[in-house]
Amino acid sequence: MAHPPALAGLLKQLARLPGVGPRSAQRVALALLAAPQKMAELASSLQHAQADLGSCATCGNIAARTEAEACVCEICADPRRDPYVLCVVESVADIWALEKGGHFKGRYHVLGGVVSALQGVGPDDLSLGLLEHRLRTATPEFAEIILALGASLEGQTTSHLVASLVQRAAPNALLSTLAKGMPVGASVDYLDEGTLGLALTYRQRL
């Protein structure tokens, strides 16, 4: 079915969003067209986000732009955060997930992805240089570096790269990773072989 150029362009842009396929794009487009006020509000929000948001110069988290030369996010600017513990994550979405639980009180560093030969992402595409600079110049020095990367092959490869970097730049820091294995509330017979294997490998003494 042929669509007017404006509608075709809207559908194309919506379908490019993560997790939004052609059918979802159609539903979103129809909902917006049926409510012009919502479309105007969305357009305004997108314009404000583009103008007022940037990346934190320290950790890579989303931060509000200010008159200062470099953006600093609320977490990096919060004096109540533990300055001795740094959690290395793949993306800003991982920060949001960790913050939702409220258990972590340290600082973060966003790599901006993981090494992936299939997607053409190499070490130079990640913020490893900024991480090394942070580790070498941190005052006070970090006492612990937590690697909170995924359990995929790409995540593990990236973890090894970061671990080597930490050993060079902050040899006195404790290097740790998130526990892997059986999730809370899960049944053994529903787990895949990989998860069960990790659960057995990292089993704990009662």
Domain ranges of the chain: 5-34, 48-78, 79-206
Task: Enumerate the β-bridge partners of residue 141.
Answer: none
Q: Find the mean pLDDT for residues 94-110.
A: 94
Query: What does CATH list as the number for 5-34?
Result: 1.10.8.420
- Predicted pLDDT of residue 68: 66
pLDDT digits (tens, 9 = 90+) for 74-96: 999 999 999 999 999 999 999 99
Whether the predicted pLDDT of 183 surpasses 90: no
Give pLDDT, residue 65.
Answer: 87
- Segment 7-11 shows an average pLDDT of 93
Mean confidence (pLDDT) of the chain:
92
Q: Helices (DSSP H) in the chain: which residue ranges?
A: 5-15, 22-34, 36-52, 74-77, 92-101, 128-137, 153-169, 193-201
**pLDDT score of 17:** 93
| Domains 5-34 and 79-206 agree in fold | no
pTM reported for the whole predicted model:
0.86
Q: Residue 87: is it exposed, middle or buried by C-beta count within 10 angstroms (0-12/13-18/19+)?
A: buried
What pLDDT shows up at residue 66?
80
* CATH 3.40.50.620 assigned to 79-206: no
Nearest to 175 by CA among 206, 142, 134: 142
pLDDT at 72: 93
Residue at token pair 């890579």: 60
